Each structure stands twice: as C-alpha cells, then as structure tokens.
C-alpha cells in the first residue's frame, strides 16, 4: 500500500479519508517534527502532508524524487524549494483563498491594537500602574479613521484589508508588482508609500526578490510615530533594522510573523512596549483551519492518484 507521511497532528476524522486508501504515518505530537525524523519517514513515502514547520530544501527533495506530491496546509510555500520540486517532477499543493478573511481580520486587529496601544494599556493595568483618575494625556494613540494606510501587496488579502479600511474612513494607498485598479485605493510607488503612510501593512509573498523588501532604508523613510504591520512573512522585513527603529521609539509595530519562528526567548522584541507580538495566528480560526486542511487533503489525494492538484503552487511541473 502506498504511504503518506503527515507531519502535523490531526484528528482521526480528518485522517479517515487517507486511511481508506493509503498507509498513513501520522505525527501525533504538539512539537514540530524534526528534520531528521522527516527525512527518515520520507524514505519510502509517496506523498506528504505538511505545514510551514517542515522545510523541503533542494537536498531533501533530490533524495526523495520518488514523491508523487507534497501538500502544504498553507498559502505560502517559501518553506519548499519550488524549483527543486519541479525539477524532480513533484507537484506542490497549497491552500489559497480560504484564509483571506481571517488574515485580513488579523491585520486590522493589529492595526487597532497598535494605533490605540491596547497591549500597552493592558499591561499597565495588570502591573498596577493605574493608581490615579482619568487623564487627557493618557495613552494617546492614532485615529485609524484619519490615517493614511499603505498596503504593500494588493492580492486577495491586501484587497480584503483595503475593503475593511474603507469602512473606517482611512485613506488607502498601495503598491503592487503589477498595477491594479481597486476601488478606493490609490496606487503609488513603494518609496512614496513608505514616506506618506501612517500605517504600512505587508501583504506580499516571500520570494528571493522580496526578501527584506522592508529594508533599513525604507524603515528609515517612514514618518516618526508610524506603524508597521506584518501578517505575511517575517523574511519580508529586515527585523534587525526594525528592532533599532522600535528601540529608539521612532516607530511602532504589530507583528504576527518573524524572521525566525518560534520567536527566540532572547529576541529584543520581547522587551519593547511599542510592538504587539502575535504567534503567527493570521489563519487561526476554527473554520479557516478546517478549510485549509480540507483543501490540503484534496491536493494530497489528487496527487496520490495521479490527478492534477486543484491548487498547485508549481503548475509548470505538468508541462
């Protein structure tokens, strides 16, 4: 019987469709599967269901070119070397579309939490700091309704964020690799976006070209007191440069993603009050995660049975 490796813990009900047709080697632990365990289990496997925690570099893919399919429970596939996968004839599945609204909601949540200093105020109360009455200068924030918000990337998630921002009355400007005509959104060049925005929100894919797209120079060009929101990928931002700007108090930030995940206990970000930190929860609603698993399973079963993947990140593999 053909074998499927599952690198994430899933309930029996989710695995049942796989077990009807395949031998399933499932991971049952909360901590991520180690690279060594992944490599060992792939030895005689035909397919794999994974998450961002499992990295497939060129060496691992070359050693496992017998794989019929890799299906990731994610939209982004920067944890998989797509060029190497295509060279080995391995289609890679992903889950676009299903997490647009939940991720857009997270971006707005971080904007509101950061502009209105919610996390700071919460810590202030819990630490016993609220010992006097109401004050006119207490935790002053920024009105999202009066802000210029710049969106870096205007794909489905970026457009969903733009739609939500229009309900707040914000001015929305955006940059995208290819110009797009989105009602209520003004397209600008990237340098203008960083210079004019009160809030910059990142919604681009991480590729070799976009690594550190939010560079030290672009961060330095932002207004004093401006805010950076990132719900896309940590590698899009020069985290060291951002930490410098946060440490000197010039910028604020709301971050759902980081260059290294999980975030190190030694990260300077943990000691800063002007940043809201969330552990990669953009798609973390029950309905969205269930939909992601459903789409990923569909991709996996299609690949295992020799059919084209419904959602393939490297469609050129079929040409």
Count of CB atoms situated within 10 Å of the CB of 98:
20
Q: Which residue, 254, 244, 193, 201, is CA-closest to 221?
A: 193
- Rounded Cα distance, 206 and 220, in Å: 21
Strands (E) located in the chain: 3-6, 23-26, 47-50, 69-72, 92-93, 148-152, 171-175, 185-187, 199-202, 227-230, 252-255, 275-277
- Rounded Cα distance, 25 and 48, in Å: 9
Contact present, 70 and 88 (Cβ < 8 Å) = no
DSSP calls for 181-195? --TTEEE--HHHHHH
Catalytic residue among 203, 233, 252, 311: 233
* Known catalytic residue at 261: yes
* Known catalytic residue at 203: no
Q: From its phi and psi, is residue 233 left (phi > 0), alpha (psi between -120 and 50) or beta?
A: beta
- Rounded Cα distance, 6 and 3, in Å: 10
Coil vs helix vs strand at 99:
coil
The residues, ordered by sequence, that sit 6+ positions from 51 with a Cβ below 8 Å of its Cβ are 7, 8, 32, 72, 73, 74
Coil vs helix vs strand at 279:
coil
* Residue 236 DSSP code: G
* Known catalytic residue at 289: no
Structure tokens at 33: 């599967």
Catalytic residue among 171, 218, 280, 311: 280
Contact present, 299 and 310 (Cβ < 8 Å) = yes
- Active centre residues (catalytic): 233, 261, 280
């Amino acid at each position: 019987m053909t074998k499927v490796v599952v690198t994430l813990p899933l309930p029996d009900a989710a695995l049942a469709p796989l077990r009807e047709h395949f031998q399933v080697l499932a991971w049952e632990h909360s901590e991520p599967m180690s690279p060594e365990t992944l490599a060992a289990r792939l030895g005689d496997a035909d397919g794999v269901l994974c998450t961002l925690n499992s990295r497939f570099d060129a060496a691992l893919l070359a050693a496992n070119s017998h794989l019929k399919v890799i299906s990731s429970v994610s939209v982004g596939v920067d944890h998989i070397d797509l060029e190497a996968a295509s060279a080995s004839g391995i289609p890679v599945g992903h889950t676009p579309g299903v997490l647009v609204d939940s991720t857009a909601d997270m971006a707005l949540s971080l904007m509101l939490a950061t502009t209105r200093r919610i996390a700071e105020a919460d810590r202030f109360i819990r630490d016993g700091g609220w010992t006097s009455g109401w004050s006119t200068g207490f935790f002053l924030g920024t009105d999202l309704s009066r802000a210029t918000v710049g969106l870096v990337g205007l794909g489905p998630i970026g457009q969903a964020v733009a739609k939500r921002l229009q309900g707040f009355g914000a001015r929305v400007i955006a940059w995208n690799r290819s110009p797009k005509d989105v009602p209520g959104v003004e397209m600008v060049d990237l340098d203008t976006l960083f210079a004019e925005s009160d809030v910059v929100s990142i919604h681009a894919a991480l590729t070799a070209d976009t690594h550190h797209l939010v560079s030290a120079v672009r961060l330095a060009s932002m207004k004093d007191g401006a805010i950076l929101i990132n719900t896309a990928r940590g590698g899009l931002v020069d985290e060291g440069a951002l930490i410098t700007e946060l440490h000197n108090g010039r910028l604020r930030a709301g971050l759902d993603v980081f260059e290294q995940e999980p975030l190190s206990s030694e990260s300077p970000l943990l000691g800063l009050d002007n940043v809201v930190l969330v552990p990669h929860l953009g798609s973390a609603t029950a309905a969205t995660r269930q939909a992601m698993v459903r789409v990923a399973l569909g991709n996996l079963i299609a690949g295992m049975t020799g059919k084209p993947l419904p959602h393939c990140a490297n469609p050129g593999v079929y040409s």
